[in-house]
């Protein structure tokens, strides 16, 4: 899923991935003004309270999940673009983890005979797409 979305459109995405892992791609695409609020919302596992047209209360969207994101920018740097500084609670809910294995190959320790990290990454994506759910089906059959 992409960070290139409005604050309110993240809610149904979060609900869709309830009881699963939500991976948000490229932190640099979200508006620095709202990213801190989105981090709180995702980690607190519920959406914004809203009224109905007749002034009643709509059911609040909820979910259960963890989320991760990637990007060439930290939460602190993204919020700084909008003149904001992250609160400790936001930084704890979305910790910055450098993804470099220290071998000059980015996140990889070895390329396993692939020409570069991009080729290995494309292969891994292809294998996930091909075999996703295989173990789950075998497990259900075993049950």
Residue 137 DSSP label: H
pTM of the model: 0.72
All structural domains of the chain with their residue ranges:
1-97, 100-143
What string of pLDDT tens digits covers the 143 residues of the chain? 999 988 889 999 999 999 999 999 999 999 999 999 999 999 999 998 888 888 888 889 999 999 999 988 999 999 999 999 999 999 999 988 888 878 888 888 999 999 998 999 999 999 999 988 888 878 888 88
Give 3-state DSSP helix, strand, coil % of the chain, rounded to 5: 40, 10, 45
Q: Which helix (H) or strand (E) holds 66?
A: strand 65-69
């Amino acid at each position: 899923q992409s960070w290139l979305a409005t604050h309110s459109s993240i809610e149904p995405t979060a609900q869709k991935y309830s009881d699963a892992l939500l991976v948000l791609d490229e932190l640099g695409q979200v508006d620095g003004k709202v990213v801190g609020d989105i981090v709180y919302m995702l980690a607190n596992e519920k959406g914004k309270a809203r009224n109905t047209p007749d002034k009643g209360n709509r059911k609040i969207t909820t979910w259960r999940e963890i989320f991760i994101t990637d990007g060439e920018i930290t939460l602190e740097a993204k919020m700084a673009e909008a003149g904001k500084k992250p609160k400790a609670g936001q930084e704890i809910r979305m910790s910055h983890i450098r993804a470099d294995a220290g071998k000059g190959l980015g996140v990889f320790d070895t390329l396993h005979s692939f020409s570069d990290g991009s080729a290995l990454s494309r292969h891994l994506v292809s294998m996930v797409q091909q075999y996703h759910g295989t173990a789950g089906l075998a497990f259900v059959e075993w049950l």
